[in-house]
Structure 1
Amino acid sequence: MNTNSELVDRDDPPLPAQTVRIPARGYAIDRRKVLIVAALLWAGFAVVAWMVLNGRTGAFDEWGLKLFRTGADFHAAGSEKLVEAVRDMTALGGVFLRNLFALAAVVALLFLRLRREAVLYALAVMAGWLVNSGLKLVVGRERPQIVPHLTSAGGESFPSGHSFSSAVVWIGMALAFATLSNRHSVRYTMVVAAMALAGMVAWSRVMLGVHFPSDVVAGWLAGSGWAFLSAALFYGAAKSAADSETARKLDPSSR
């Protein structure tokens, strides 16, 4: 663990109410641990992908799509307010909002003088788009037509892009900001909360009828796996970039 930081230690005396101490560099995430988690998540994705390619998810997919529907026409069970809430949730994984939050997170990390984390997070999000696009081309699954769609959707169905991208954005963000604390309980809480949020975004796609449950499970597993894998994969490059003279000149916190 990197202890070269100006963060307040638990044994330090309390700071005055108007004093804020910004870290020069956050604590490093344990790359061995994130690689283990990434391997487990990608193994889960491989299992789901194999099941989809071999037609083993039919009963699960139909059950999931019909779970929130009722009547002969399979209209949404529940009020219109519930449907709107589900649409709001799915928007957190949409192109506009997820990229807006990702950009805001990068700027915030830079102002917190966490250039390494800002670069690492930006690389994870940008490369994640390429990974997701490649996975969709490999399988080429069409979207479900079992129940009416409650929102517009296009492109390939497997894996769910909303599920993959929201996992990368929110879990990657949690990993980046978790470096502000040296307490494992704080780090784990942030990451687990982000995984839960990404999971809610993923399942909202099933509730809206635009993805099979196996699509979103695979997307969440792959996106989560990429968020953890990139934290280790790009660490060296991010550290070098953050320490460069160009990064120092562009750093808004140094002005």
Structure 2
Amino acid sequence: MQETRGPHASAPDSPLPAENYAVPERGFTIDRHKALLAAAGLWAVWIFMIWLVTQGHSTPFDRSGLLLYRSGVDFHPLGGNMLEEAVRDITALGGVILSTLTALAAVIALLFLRMRREATLFVATVVLGWGLNALMKTIVGRERPTLVPHLTEAAGYSFPSGHSFTSAMIYIGMALAFASFSKRHSVRYTLIGSAMVISAMIAWSRVMLGVHFPSDVIAGWSGGAAWAFTAAALLYEPAKRAADSDAAHRLDPMEHEVHGT
């Protein structure tokens, strides 16, 4: 992050007042080669899971994953009510309402921070990603597991997991957008790594609740993460042109605020 010092700054390592920090107007671009490399590995996992499921080779793995959290003849969940509620809380982070509100809040924050290109890229990532996941669900048409009792309500097709895809796409895409505030690799890796861990926890919670096969959530998470990295690499230039257009300038509330002062 860029910083400026006032005339009375004392030592080089002394903390600066908040008003002396300057947010980079355009941010620091993400390394597209690294993003595409990460995306390639994740797309390979996604394709492999599609092959396993469509060829019927995922059954032993799916059965073991669903039974990992269950016990007894009635397949009741392990860990008691406290763990079950915690799993529900985690899975809610990937639900339609919370994930959409999180994405909307991120877009608003980016706009107020004058990061219009990153906001445009993030919106394109989310909207196109929703369409990709819906298309895959329709093509595969896999029914939800019935081996164990469901611990939450779930409707629609099972493969790939919508919670897994959406959470990976939104949280990793959001981390990539805000990572552009810093050119330090340690900051970027921490943000993106945290988003990957949180979204993976959301994905696996769907298996623990019995509403998805393990192959569903692996495919969903890897596909959502792959799309987030792919969009960051390939959609940046189109997003840049859209964000710098005359229409975008007219619609940006921060532009009006600057000109009105």
Residue number in structure 1 paired with 2:243: 242
Contact 2:45 2:222 in 1 (8 A): yes
What's the CA shift for 1:8? Answer: 2.5
Residue number in structure 1 paired with 2:3: 8
Residue number in structure 2 paired with 1:3: none
For residues 95 and 238 of structure 1, the distance between their equivalents in structure 2, rounded to whole angstroms, comes to 25
What code does the residue aligned with 2:39 have?
A: A
Contact 2:161 2:219 in 1 (8 A): yes
For residues 20 and 247 of structure 1, the distance between their equivalents in structure 2, rounded to whole angstroms, comes to 26
After TM superposition, where is structure 1 displaced by more than 4 Å over at least 4 residues in a row?
A: 9-14
Residue number in structure 1 paired with 2:8: none
What code does the residue aligned with 1:244 have?
A: S
For residues 208 and 77 of structure 2, the distance between their equivalents in structure 1, rounded to whole angstroms, comes to 8
For residues 191 and 55 of structure 2, the distance between their equivalents in structure 1, rounded to whole angstroms, comes to 36
1:93 aligns with 2:94: yes
Give the 3 Å change call, closer, same or farther, for CA 51–246 of structure 1 in structure 2.
Answer: same
What's the CA shift for 1:19? Answer: 3.7
Query: What are the residue-to-residue correspondences of 1:152-171 with 2, within 5 Å?
Result: 152-171=153-172
What's the CA shift for 1:244? Answer: 1.6
What code does the residue aligned with 1:40 have?
A: G
What's the CA shift for 1:16? Answer: 2.4
Residue number in structure 2 paired with 1:190: 191
Contact 1:89 1:200 in 2 (8 A): yes
Give the 3 Å change call, closer, same or farther, for CA 9–223 of structure 1 in structure 2.
Answer: farther
Deviations 1:31-69 (A, max 9, x none): 111111111111111111101111111111111111111
For residues 20 and 52 of structure 2, the distance between their equivalents in structure 1, rounded to whole angstroms, comes to 55
For residues 165 and 16 of structure 1, the distance between their equivalents in structure 2, rounded to whole angstroms, comes to 38
Residue number in structure 1 paired with 2:9: none
TM-score (norm 2): 0.91
Residue number in structure 2 paired with 1:224: 225
When Rg is computed on C-alpha atoms for both structures, the one with the higher figure is: 2
Q: Percent identity?
A: 58
Give the 3 Å change call, closer, same or farther, for CA 154–128 of structure 1 in structure 2.
Answer: same
For residues 211 and 3 of structure 2, the distance between their equivalents in structure 1, rounded to whole angstroms, comes to 47
What code does the residue aligned with 1:126 have?
A: V
Give the CA RMSD over aligned residues. Answer: 1.7
What code does the residue aligned with 1:38 have?
A: A
For residues 16 and 201 of structure 1, the distance between their equivalents in structure 2, rounded to whole angstroms, comes to 38
Query: What are the residue-to-residue correspondences of 1:206-221 with 2, within 5 Å?
Result: 206-221=207-222
Query: What are the residue-to-residue correspondences of 1:124-163 with 2, within 5 Å?
Result: 124-163=125-164
What's the CA shift for 1:229? Answer: 0.5
What code does the residue aligned with 1:53 have?
A: T
Give the 3 Å change call, closer, same or farther, for CA 154–9 of structure 1 in structure 2.
Answer: farther
Give the 3 Å change call, closer, same or farther, for CA 233–12 of structure 1 in structure 2.
Answer: farther
1:65 aligns with 2:60: no
TM-score (norm 1): 0.94
Deviates more, 1:18-27 or 1:230-239: 18-27
What's the CA shift for 1:13? Answer: 7.8
What's the CA shift for 1:246? Answer: 2.2
For residues 180 and 8 of structure 1, the distance between their equivalents in structure 2, rounded to whole angstroms, comes to 12
What runs of 5+ residues in structure 2 fail to find an aligned partner?
A: 6-11
Give the 3 Å change call, closer, same or farther, for CA 224–25 of structure 1 in structure 2.
Answer: same
For residues 137 and 95 of structure 1, the distance between their equivalents in structure 2, rounded to whole angstroms, comes to 18
Give the 3 Å change call, closer, same or farther, for CA 37–253 of structure 1 in structure 2.
Answer: same
What's the CA shift for 1:18? Answer: 4.3
For residues 236 and 212 of structure 2, the distance between their equivalents in structure 1, rounded to whole angstroms, comes to 33
What's the CA shift for 1:14? Answer: 5.0
Give the 3 Å change call, closer, same or farther, for CA 19–138 of structure 1 in structure 2.
Answer: same
What's the CA shift for 1:251? Answer: 2.2
For residues 16 and 250 of structure 2, the distance between their equivalents in structure 1, rounded to whole angstroms, comes to 30
Deviates more, 1:236-245 or 1:106-115: 236-245
